[in-house]
Structure 1
Amino acid sequence: MRQPPFAAPLLALLLALASFALPAKASVYISSDNLDLRNSLNLLVNAGHISIPLQQYPMPWRSILMDLNTIDSSNLNNAEQLALLHVRHYLRNAQSGPQTWVQAQVNTDPPRLSRFGRSVHEQGKISVARHIKGERFAARLQLNQRWQPLEDDNEQTLDGSYLAYNLGDFSVSLDALPLWWGPAQHSSLLMSNNARPLNKLRLDYSSNWPAAGFNPLHLSAFIGYNETKLQDISVSREMLGLRAALQVNGGIDAGLSVVHQASADEQGNHIPDNTMLSLDLRKGWQWQQQQFALYAELGFDGQLEDGENPAFTVGGEWHFNAVLWGEQPTRHTLAAEYTDTESTNFYQRSARLGEQPFYQHYRQNIGSGFAPDSRTLSLSYRMFQADGSGWTVQLGRSTRLSGDDQSQALLQRTQPLWGGLLEVGFDYQDSSADELGARLNWQWRF
């Protein structure tokens, strides 16, 4: 398989050099692996305290510093105070907190349910990461040892690593970070964490001080490669991506995402180039101690034929605070989403290479984690407490174009343990045979 120019050995060398050259500090990015932090940020957006759109991750912390510094906590209600306390905790860690991170993860056989902040790409993994930050440079070196990866290869990876340079409102990074583009929690049509992250060169623009008369704008663009197997044919394709997001009048967050895959010729098979595009909107508001949001994403694929409809997701969130036991501040989040990717040619296919979608990276869809050619209704509940503990419940029901139905369920507990954070989860999926899976994940920072 053709190796991209941003190959793992080059990234490892640059990160290793940076680790000797820079003083140790922590991360500069709000990552796409923390649902509770995202909910806290969304709550502050709903209340009007943050004006920059936060529907794409990773996001530079500096893009929201001005808004965070102007919030007067004495004027906040209980829900807003918990959200601000939570966000500032992670900001302190990002500025001067623990620099080293260790993770151990074990999973059973499929099923595997992915969503924002939760993805599974192997049956077992041990990861060690180190953050480094200088005046303008920042880096994270993450080494992963994997067991039984889904792609049957790549037992050692640098997924989660980056080397970034900041110049005012711009930052450039060479990274292997997962992207999430769009407002939904359960699924994203173009870029999600369902597949392993691409190796890519990425440019971000985000202004703390927008020009007079203009709302804050965030731009993100990347060039990288996605690799997968179609039947027994290994395919490597150049991939370009662009996202623009801003908050328009009325407090509506709007986003435009574009992804282009180059053509490829592998073993006598020609795979044409393809362009996908999505538009998304999100509107949040609050009423007394409660927060609400409605959102939608509409996706187009250049391979759609006459009579085939675009894909779409519509959904809503409800956040409220209520103490169930003890005295800890507790937030409850309910989310409901409906995703339709039923059109056969959404995610691009070729009759010569079977029904497998081309829009994959190491055999997993880069976009929605739900079954292709399906309509899915999903509901979730998340309870979050100030010490980091909580519960997650998610239910989903998919109807495929073939007429087959599929149900999914997730139950997960998050609990502080031994100075780290433990996640214990069980998921269920009724496909060809009813299957129950389990996942154990523990993270420790020092």
Structure 2
Amino acid sequence: MKGYRLARHSLPEAETERCESQHAAFLEKALRQAKQSTRGASITLGVANQEPLYTSFDTQVEDEQTSQVTLYGMGDRWAGRLAIGYVDGDRDNEYVRMDDSYLAGIVGNWQLGVGAIDRWWGPGWQSSLALSNNARPIPGVWLSRQMPLAPQSPWLSWIGPWDLQFIAGRQEQDRAVPDAHVLGARFVFKPLDSLQIGLTRLAQWGGEGRPQNFQAFWDATIGRDNGESSGFDDDDDPSNQIGGVDFRLSLNPGDVPLGIYGQFIGEDEAGGLPSKRSSLAGIDIVTGWGKGSQRFFAEATETVAGSWFGDRRHNVMYEHSTYKTGFRYHGRNLASTWEGDAKVTTLGVQQFFRNDVTVSLSLSRATLNDEGSTRAVLHIDGDEILQAADEQDITLAELRIGHPLLGGRLNWLLSTTNEAVVTYEKRERFTAGLQWTRDINW
């Protein structure tokens, strides 16, 4: 998990199992280091010719000029991290940041925390239809299980190991509804050794000029916000919500780990289920050729509402009639790196060497902003939105390399598109960046 260390000396069983299933020696080493490090510091320096437009589950090069100094510590029942960073880019005018800072404690088998940390809610490698690392992390509080233990009750034992997360945060002031709040919940369970299922719900509510009393909070919490069908007009609609389900099926044919996964997120509710759904599906396979391991994946994403299983509706996904800046934070989508109304197919390979060198290569074919219209409304002082201004068909190639250097780790990004993507400005076809981080433990 990018952005924070767990508040105990041993990592959750689920993370250890995931490491083992990927046969990645460098991940195993990282887990051992995290267990041994109880306090320390780190420094990060980064540079790029422009802010990278697209992100993935891999470690990111974040902006044109970045620097960050971090102090962290942990005990048996707590963990904390203070990160102070400086970012100099053309779009986001908030230069000094405390992203990746947090303070968390453990009560029983629950973790309670406050801070701004990245979350990846979904099974995809290239993108997620729920929360991802595409945008900066929203500051807020969270409550989550510390260990995903299975229920002891014979009536509930079929659920298997399970995890539950609640988050609450507040967005920036310079947006159509200033200081809007974000609520989120995710329940993940594993009824079979080979099957993991996730249920996700996210909501924007409140904010300047909007109801912020307990009734508005309760209506948002129970999902009573679906316009006139819930008894509201546009001015009273208490929240903007998305929700859905995802799964990962892990198989092992011929002792070769194979995963099949999918994610379906809807903008509205109909019959108790998400409707106007966006879809993501993929397959991955892990091999152990040579002195390392490899992961190959193919992933398809469509963020046109109603895609694959219904009537296609444009300018719906991640948009709202009241929260007109949409499901975004500082101009970047909180979920899909491709934004709404996109159709994308990605092929990728990740190579993990035993000397801590990683190489990732991906090739994507994408239709951005299908039908070429935009709905999001900016605040006069708000950050520009990184969405294609018109319909564009592009091919994107990305190369990411990570390796040890000068006692730390250096991550490279090289990406190119067959034509320049036009957002609020015309971007360069080529993006090149690097980011170096060194940990100092004591």
Tell me the TM-score normalised to structure 1 length: 0.75
- CA shift for structure 1 position 95: 2.3
Task: For residues 171-190 of structure 1, give each alpha carbon's deviation from its aligned partner in whole angstroms, at most 9, with x where no partner exists.
Answer: 10101101110110111111
Do the aligned residues in 1 keep the contact of 2:286 with 2:294 (CA within 8 Å)?
Answer: yes
- Aligned residue number for residue 145 of structure 2: 205
- Aligned residue number for residue 226 of structure 1: 171
Amino acid at match of 1:132: G
Secondary structure of the structure 2 residue equivalent to 1:94: helix
1:123 aligns with 2:64: yes
Task: For residues 90-140 of structure 1, give each alpha carbon's deviation from its aligned partner in whole angstroms, at most 9, with x where no partner exists.
Answer: 232222237221111111125522001344553111111122112312101
- Aligned residue number for residue 162 of structure 2: 217
- Aligned residue number for residue 148 of structure 1: 89
Secondary structure of the structure 1 residue equivalent to 2:46: strand
Determine the C-alpha separation between the residues in 2 that align with 1:345 and 1:187: 19
1:281 to 237, 247, 266: 247
- CA shift for structure 1 position 249: 2.8
Task: For residues 285-317 of structure 1, give each alpha carbon's deviation from its aligned partner in whole angstroms, at most 9, with x where no partner exists.
Answer: 22345211000000011299xxx8410100011
1:252 aligns with 2:222: no
Which structure 2 residues correspond to residues 387-402 of structure 1 after superposition, within 5 A? 387-399=355-367, 400-402=369-371
- CA shift for structure 1 position 253: 0.2
- Aligned residue number for residue 304 of structure 2: 342
Determine the C-alpha separation between the residues in 1 that align with 2:348 and 2:281: 14
Secondary structure of the structure 2 residue equivalent to 1:91: helix
- Aligned residue number for residue 266 of structure 2: 300
Secondary structure of the structure 2 residue equivalent to 1:397: strand
Which structure 2 residues correspond to residues 361-372 of structure 1 after superposition, within 5 A? 361-372=329-340
Secondary structure of the structure 2 residue equivalent to 1:421: strand
Deviates more, 1:123-132 or 1:280-289: 280-289
- CA shift for structure 1 position 264: 4.0
- Aligned residue number for residue 178 of structure 1: 118
Do the aligned residues in 2 keep the contact of 1:225 with 1:238 (CA within 8 Å)?
Answer: yes
Amino acid at match of 1:368: S
Do the aligned residues in 2 keep the contact of 1:109 with 1:123 (CA within 8 Å)?
Answer: yes
Determine the C-alpha separation between the residues in 2 that align with 1:352 and 1:210: 39
Change (3 A) 1:206 1:246: farther
- Aligned residue number for residue 25 of structure 1: none
Q: Which runs of 5+ in 1 are unaligned?
A: 1-30, 35-56, 72-78, 324-328
Task: For residues 117-170 of structure 1, give each alpha carbon's deviation from its aligned partner in whole angstroms, at most 9, with x where no partner exists.
Answer: 344553111111122112312101111111126322x21111111100012210
1:315 aligns with 2:278: no
Determine the C-alpha separation between the residues in 1 that align with 2:320 and 2:21: 48
1:427 aligns with 2:415: yes
Do the aligned residues in 2 keep the contact of 1:390 with 1:414 (CA within 8 Å)?
Answer: yes
Determine the C-alpha separation between the residues in 1 that align with 2:161 and 2:49: 44
- CA shift for structure 1 position 351: 9.5
Determine the C-alpha separation between the residues in 2 that align with 1:84 and 1:352: 42
- CA shift for structure 1 position 63: 6.0
Do the aligned residues in 1 keep the contact of 2:59 with 2:411 (CA within 8 Å)?
Answer: no
- CA shift for structure 1 position 81: 9.2
- Aligned residue number for residue 240 of structure 1: 183
- Aligned residue number for residue 112 of structure 1: 53
Determine the C-alpha separation between the residues in 2 that align with 1:133 and 1:342: 43
Determine the C-alpha separation between the residues in 2 that align with 1:369 and 1:202: 24
Deviates more, 1:428-437 or 1:289-298: 428-437
Secondary structure of the structure 2 residue equivalent to 1:337: strand
Query: Percent of aligned positions with the same letter in both sequences?
Result: 20
Determine the C-alpha separation between the residues in 2 that align with 1:407 and 1:421: 29
Change (3 A) 1:205 1:255: same
- CA shift for structure 1 position 85: 4.7
- Aligned residue number for residue 18 of structure 1: none
Amino acid at match of 2:192: N
Amino acid at match of 1:392: S
Determine the C-alpha separation between the residues in 2 that align with 1:202 and 1:423: 30
- Aligned residue number for residue 433 of structure 2: 439
Q: CA RMSD in A?
A: 3.1
Do the aligned residues in 2 keep the contact of 1:227 with 1:360 (CA within 8 Å)?
Answer: no
Determine the C-alpha separation between the residues in 2 that align with 1:172 and 1:352: 29
Determine the C-alpha separation between the residues in 2 that align with 1:280 and 1:80: 22
- Aligned residue number for residue 350 of structure 2: 382
- Aligned residue number for residue 333 of structure 1: 295
Do the aligned residues in 2 keep the contact of 1:113 with 1:427 (CA within 8 Å)?
Answer: no
- CA shift for structure 1 position 240: 0.6
Change (3 A) 1:59 1:280: farther
- CA shift for structure 1 position 423: 1.5
Determine the C-alpha separation between the residues in 2 that align with 1:129 and 1:200: 19
- Aligned residue number for residue 54 of structure 1: none
- Aligned residue number for residue 41 of structure 1: none
Do the aligned residues in 2 keep the contact of 1:195 with 1:361 (CA within 8 Å)?
Answer: yes
- Aligned residue number for residue 64 of structure 1: 12
Determine the C-alpha separation between the residues in 1 that align with 2:6 and 2:118: 8
1:409 aligns with 2:370: no
Structure with bigger helix share is: 1
Determine the C-alpha separation between the residues in 2 that align with 1:61 and 1:316: 33
- Aligned residue number for residue 191 of structure 1: 131
Q: Which runs of 5+ in 2 are unaligned?
A: 211-233, 306-314, 372-390
Amino acid at match of 1:335: F
Do the aligned residues in 1 keep the contact of 2:25 with 2:353 (CA within 8 Å)?
Answer: no
Task: For residues 176-227 of structure 1, give each alpha carbon's deviation from its aligned partner in whole angstroms, at most 9, with x where no partner exists.
Answer: 1011101101111110000000101000114464334521110000111122
